[in-house]
A and B are shown apart, each in its own frame.
Chain A
Amino acid sequence: DAGVIQSPRHEVTEMGQEVTLRCKPISGHDYLFWYRQTMMRGLELLIYFNNNVPIDDSGMPEDRFSAKMPNASFSTLKIQPSEPRDSAVYFCASSPKVQGFSDTQYFGPGTRLTVL
């Protein structure tokens, strides 16, 4: 299995520009998660989906952030307009059904975003 695929791996943009991050989860996984990691705040959950439906978006920092999952094999995280404080590594993760206690989240390689 190819694992979770994210693109781009690096993104450098200027303040005010729109940024779109992409994720392809592991085939057959029902859950998809978007995280942001910074030195100051650590790894934070932004939003997660179950069967393409957003379940919890309480971690989305503000209206500038939006996420979609149009089908089981693709999700996007969009920032519009971007700001320097959005600079971080954004991870996508997927997991099989949450059943009991042993659900494992598999992380993609991440997208390193720099907003100038």
Chain B
Amino acid sequence: QKEVEQNSGPLSVPEGAIASLNCTYSDRGSQSFFWYRQYSGKSPELIMFIYSNGDKEDGRFTAQLNKASQYVSLLIRDSQPSDSATYLCAVRGSGNTGKLIFGQGTTLQVKP
């Protein structure tokens, strides 16, 4: 079992729709969770982090965390073609470690 799992996609949604990206993790002691966006040929950039159960909203983005189910998701409302990218889920494990474990990423395609 991979430590951080994501559906590779591609996930295709029409412009203006809600895109839902999901991630599961195996380390129950994981402390914090990150979503990075990576455009083709570019480096990953942080979109959001979350560390408490529940929802965290930032503009069109909402991160959701359920530690009991070891599940974290990212919702993108009013999806735009510029949101088309690969979204990487990253998890920081237990202990005072700087190490992040990344999932394989989900490719999102937003069609005009």
Contact = CB atoms under 8 A, between A and B. Distances in A.
Interface of A: 31, 33, 42-45, 48, 50, 55-56, 91, 95, 98, 100-110
A50 B43 contact: no
Nearest to B43: A107
Contacts, number: 53
- Chain B interface SS verdict (over half): loop
A43 B98 CA distance: 16
A38 to B, nearest CB: 11
Interface of B: 31-32, 34, 42-46, 49, 51, 88, 92, 96-105
Interface SS majority for chain A: strand
Given A43-B88, A95-B98, A101 B32 contact: yes
The 5 closest A-B pairs by CB, nearest first: A101-B51, A101-B32, A107-B43, A43-B102, A42-B104
Nearest to A44: B102
A35 B100 CA distance: 10
